[in-house]
Amino acid sequence: MTRPPSVPVPDSKSSVPSVTSFPVEEAAQALRERLGSVPEVLVVLGSGLGGLTEAVEGPQVIPFSELPGFPAAGVAGHGSRFVAGTLEGRSVLLQAGRFHFYEGHPAAVVAGPVRVAAHLGVERAIFTNAAGGIDPRFGPGTLMLIEDHINFMGRSPLVGPVAEGEVRFPDMSTAYDAEYRDLARRVALEQGISLERGVYAGVLGPNYETPAEIRMLGRLGATAVGMSTVPEVIVARARGMRVMAVSLITNAAAGISLEELSHEEVLEAGQEAAPRLEALIRGVIREM
């Protein structure tokens, strides 16, 4: 895509806060020294989904605190670390714990771990998250394959100078890899795991939405809502990574059910449904 001539081209000396405020290179180097080889797949685990780390063979645990640029993550249910090893015969890099905009982190930090994985040479990413169900058919425990997203966070992690290895205007028309979507559905079918499909609306949070906001998101085509994943997927696509993502619906979104929303409820539903999501991800990794 060509740039309109009137738009100034930011250069590396620009004062815009950007990826340059996250030490991607240094963190990737630190990981590389620990891992020895480049993992095939990055798997980002959402709230309450950290159990998959226990299935990794020959696990190497690298706490975020041992990597340059990684702040200590602070949401209940998140243990913040990478776990590298073998899963279903493939070398994987699991990321337990992630950074959210609602914690006050700048975009460079929110997208930092994905950039680090991409810099390492990881070419595929699976994202998981906990989300509220907007489609009234999606009750707690539903697994929803993300087919597309709507960025309602009011920001993009790509704002600022173009980071090394990224493109200025990444195409998002098939952000969620079509082959991986087919694969996920086939694996789900084979394993008898019911898997819905839909559109994830990424919102800033940290408050849950109002019923009016949920009605709006539903009318705009969203079937689930959550506070993560979108910035990570944007960066993954800007880096040319192939992406798959699944939401675990932990609650009916505001106004869809009459119940009040609580973080505890979100974590509980996560626990119940996590084994199904883990089985799905393992099946996908096996055949990726």
Stretch that binds ligand HPA, among 52-60, 98-106, 233-241, 250-258 (CB under 6 A): 250-258
* 38 counts as binding ligand HPA under rule CB under 6 A: no
Which residue in the set 113, 132, 157, 231 belongs to the binding site for ligand HPA (CB under 6 A)?
132
| Cβ atoms of residues 205 and 104 within 8 Å | no
User: What percent of the chain is helix, strand and coil (3-state, nearest 5)?
Assistant: 35, 25, 40
- Residue bearing tokens 């994987």: 92
Rule CB under 6 A: is residue 253 a binding residue for ligand HPA?
A: yes
Residue 213 binding ligand HPA, by CB under 6 A? no
- Burial of 53 (C-beta count, 10 Å sphere; 0-12/13-18/19+): buried
Q: From CA 272, how far away is CA 250, in angstroms rounded?
A: 9
| Region from 51-59, 90-98, 215-223, 245-253 binding ligand HPA, contact rule CB under 6 A | 245-253
Q: Which of 243, 266, 284, 285 binds ligand HPA (CB under 6 A)?
A: 266
**Is 201 a residue that touches ligand HPA (CB under 6 A)?**
no
Q: Which is nearer to ligand HPA, 60 or 151 (CB)?
A: 151
Residue 286 phi, psi dihedral angles, 5° rounding? -55, -35
Tell me the closest approach of the beta carbon of residue 178 to ligand HPA, in angstroms: 26
**CB under 6 A: which stretch of 116-124, 175-183, 219-227, 276-284 binds ligand HPA?**
219-227
Cβ proximity of 122 and 38 under 8 Å:
yes
Q: Tell me the catalytic residues.
A: 47, 78, 100, 102-103, 130, 227-228, 251, 263
**Burial state string for 60-76 with b = 16 or more CB within 10 A and e = fewer than 16:** ebbebeebebbeebebe
Sign of CA dihedral 204, 208, 210, 216: positive
Q: In this complex, which beta carbon is closest to ligand HPA, that of residue 30 or of residue 143?
A: 143
Is there binding between residue 202 and ligand HPA (CB under 6 A)? no
Q: Which stretch binds ligand HPA (CB under 6 A): 88-96, 144-152, 162-170, 220-228?
A: 220-228
Classify residue 288 by burial, with Cβ atoms within 10 Å: 0-12, 13-18, 19+.
middle
Q: Which of 35, 75, 261, 267 binds ligand HPA (CB under 6 A)?
A: 261
Phi and psi of 47, rounded to 5°?
A: -45, 125
Query: What residue ranges bind ligand HPA (CB under 6 A)?
Result: 130-132, 208-209, 225-227, 250-251, 253, 261, 266
